[in-house]
């Protein structure tokens, strides 16, 4: 009997081990099936990409998410867990080779869930900072660009000469001269100031219309980015438009072309205003000029409207302080958000224009984040009595604002993003809007959404640095600069976008 008992113990142990192994196989199968079922249930709640979601993706760069963040996190856990359970079953039944195959599937699931990307983003990448390309090169920082505009004789070339002269440490500035006529006198002056013929490129057509926009694209893409940047020695690009140039065509060059928008950054649009003669062109309410004078007045107003920085030049020739105040008010009627610097002979701090050593001033004039800074200057609430001298008064809010004017509208509360997208695109198309910018509080987003637009060219992004604080009153504020704007329709349309 003792012999029989001694033989039965190993058998019992073997049976116990076999039973526990079978139980492990069964439990792992149950886990895999449970995970599969839960993944299937979660996938049934996926959203379908609608036209509104596609529009938000195009305008704001908001990536469409079929599942919410918590559901994606649960899927990222359930998928690998179920595959690991299958790996255990494969190991027991088929051996380590089959388990290795299943583990490969687990790694693939983790990659598709974005786990590896999140981990990689947290790790330092010293090789990325080493060998980074020059400004303007693919993979390098964007090349900073400054556009100088202003009417004939306002002092633009004087400003360029000052920038290149005081730029002995910035000798890598490249200047494009958009000359009106056959004589390249301005280009010759800039060459003398810079001391280098290679630092100036000439664009011989003063209108800067569609033809010149194409020529400018070709010149920047082929000569500046293709040859000069590759050869080195270009740290920034200054474009001096002719006095008759339409600024919108030049600005749109850097907004509509995808490659240029990626490799260039528009830092400032500087309008040089002749304080002696510009008064006759700035239209005053109720006294709009006519004929050729009207077209010149419109051009001057558009040059101011597109500016992020206005230089009120030749102040030494203005007879009285009251005249300067009138000019400043006329500029503010056209553009509320631009900085205005008063000067003579364009004697301004070059660091204020270029951004100091290394051109470090950020963000650029047409980046959406710049709207976060500009919009702080405007505090006009819908329905409130605006302060004297502002761009919108009680009468103007009931009618059409004549000429090129600046309108600010603020709405408290949150907006529905889909409704705003449809409304703003319709407004940009129906009204003669030259520029628009805004900061939005949108339902479902803790970030402040900022945008800039030139006509129908819209560029927006959620700000990564500016967020609505807990308990902070939320509001949306927009600035429109355009011709004959219907303020009442803008207010009414924006109110209808509230969530």
Residue-wise pLDDT for 460-493, tens only, equals 877 657 788 888 899 999 989 888 888 888 989 9
Angle at 335 between CA 331 and CA 341, to 5 degrees: 55
**What's the confidence (pLDDT) of residue 312?**
93
**pLDDT tens-digit readout, 186-199:** 555 555 555 555 55
> What CA–CA distance (Å, rounded) separates 417 from 391?
27
Angle at 305 between CA 297 and CA 476, to 5 degrees: 140
**What's the confidence (pLDDT) of residue 161?**
86
Across-strand partners of 437?
A: 452, 479
**What's the confidence (pLDDT) of residue 453?**
86
Q: Which CATH class is domain 370-497?
A: alpha beta
**What's the confidence (pLDDT) of residue 285?**
43
Regions of the chain short of the pLDDT cut 50: 1-7, 12-13, 15, 17, 127-131, 181-184, 206-211, 284-286, 380-399
Matching fold, domains 143-366 and 370-497: no
Residue pointed to by tokens 């705003």: 420
- Say which residues have a Cβ less than 8 Å from residue 298's Cβ, sequence separation at least 6: 403, 404, 483
> What CA–CA distance (Å, rounded) separates 474 from 464?
17
> Cβ of 454: how many Cβ atoms within 10 Å?
22
**What's the confidence (pLDDT) of residue 148?**
92
Written as one string, the DSSP assignment of 312-328 is EE-GGG-S-HHHHHHHH
**What's the confidence (pLDDT) of residue 206?**
45
User: 172-210 burial, b for 16+ CB within 10 Å, e for fewer?
Assistant: bbbbbbbbbeeeeebbebbbebbeeeebbbebbbbebee
**What's the confidence (pLDDT) of residue 212?**
52
User: Domain extents for the chain?
Assistant: 70-123, 143-366, 370-497
> Cβ of 165: how many Cβ atoms within 10 Å?
13
pTM: 0.69
- Say which residues have a Cβ less than 8 Å from residue 71's Cβ, sequence separation at least 6: 42, 45
The CATH number, out of the four listed (3.90.226.10, 3.10.129.10, 3.40.50.300, 3.30.460.10), of the domain defined by the range 143-366 = 3.40.50.300
> What CA–CA distance (Å, rounded) separates 296 from 282?
9
User: Would the CA dihedral through 68, 69, 73, 74 be positive or negative?
Assistant: negative
**pLDDT tens-digit readout, 400-431:** 556 788 888 889 999 999 999 999 988 888 88
């Amino acid at each position: 009997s003792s012999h029989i008992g001694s033989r039965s113990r190993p058998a019992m142990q073997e049976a116990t081990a076999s039973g526990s192994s079978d139980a492990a196989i069964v439990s792992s199968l149950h886990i895999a099936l449970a995970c599969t079922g839960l993944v299937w249930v979660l996938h049934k709640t996926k959203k379908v990409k609608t036209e509104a979601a596609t529009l938000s993706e195009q305008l704001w760069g908001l990536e469409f998410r079929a599942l919410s963040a918590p559901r994606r996190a649960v899927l990222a856990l359930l998928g690998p867990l179920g595959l690991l359970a299958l790996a255990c079953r494969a190991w027991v039944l088929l051996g380590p080779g089959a388990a290795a195959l299943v583990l490969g599937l687990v790694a693939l699931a983790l990659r598709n869930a974005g786990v590896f990307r999140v981990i990689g983003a947290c790790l330092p990448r010293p090789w990325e900072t080493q060998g980074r390309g020059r400004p303007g090169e693919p993979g390098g920082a964007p090349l900073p660009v400054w556009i100088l505009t202003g009417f004939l004789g306002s002092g633009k070339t004087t400003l360029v000469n000052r920038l290149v002269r005081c730029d002995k440490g910035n000798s890598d500035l490249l200047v494009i001269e958009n000359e009106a006529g056959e004589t390249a006198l301005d280009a010759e002056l800039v060459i003398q100031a810079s001391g280098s013929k290679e630092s100036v490129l000439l664009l011989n057509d003063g209108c800067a219309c569609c033809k010149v926009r194409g020529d400018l694209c070709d010149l920047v893409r082929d000569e500046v980015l293709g040859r000069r940047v590759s050869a080195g020695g270009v740290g920034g690009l200054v474009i001096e438009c002719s006095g008759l140039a339409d600024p919108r065509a030049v600005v749109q060059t850097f907004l509509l072309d995808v490659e240029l928008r990626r490799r260039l950054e528009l830092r400032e649009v500087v309008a040089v205003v002749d304080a002696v003669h510009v008064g006759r062109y700035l239209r005053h309410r109720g006294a709009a000029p006519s004929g050729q004078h009207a077209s010149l007045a419109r051009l001057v107003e558009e040059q101011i409207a597109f500016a992020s920085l206005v230089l009120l030049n030749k102040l030494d020739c203005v007879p009285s302080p009251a005249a300067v105040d009138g000019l400043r008010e006329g500029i503010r009627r056209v553009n509320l958000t631009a900085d205005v610097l008063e000067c003579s002979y364009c004697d301004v701090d070059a660091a204020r224009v270029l951004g100091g050593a290394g051109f470090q001033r950020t963000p650029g004039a047409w980046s959406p984040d710049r709207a976060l800074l500009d919009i702080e200057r405007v505090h006009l609430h819908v329905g409130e009595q605006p302060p004297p001298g502002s761009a919108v008064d009680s009468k103007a809010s009931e009618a059409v604002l004549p000429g090129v004017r600046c309108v600010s509208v603020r709405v408290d509360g949150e907006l529905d993003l889909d409704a705003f997208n449809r409304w703003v695109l319709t407004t940009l198309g129906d009204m003669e809007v030259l520029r628009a910018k805004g900061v939005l509080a949108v339902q479902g987003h803790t970030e402040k959404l900022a945008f800039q637009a030139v006509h129908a060219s819209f560029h927006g992004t959620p700000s990564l640095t500016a967020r609505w604080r807990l308990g902070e009153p939320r509001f949306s504020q927009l600035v429109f600069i355009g011709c004959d704007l219907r303020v009442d329709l803008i207010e009414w349309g924006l109110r209808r976008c509230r969530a």
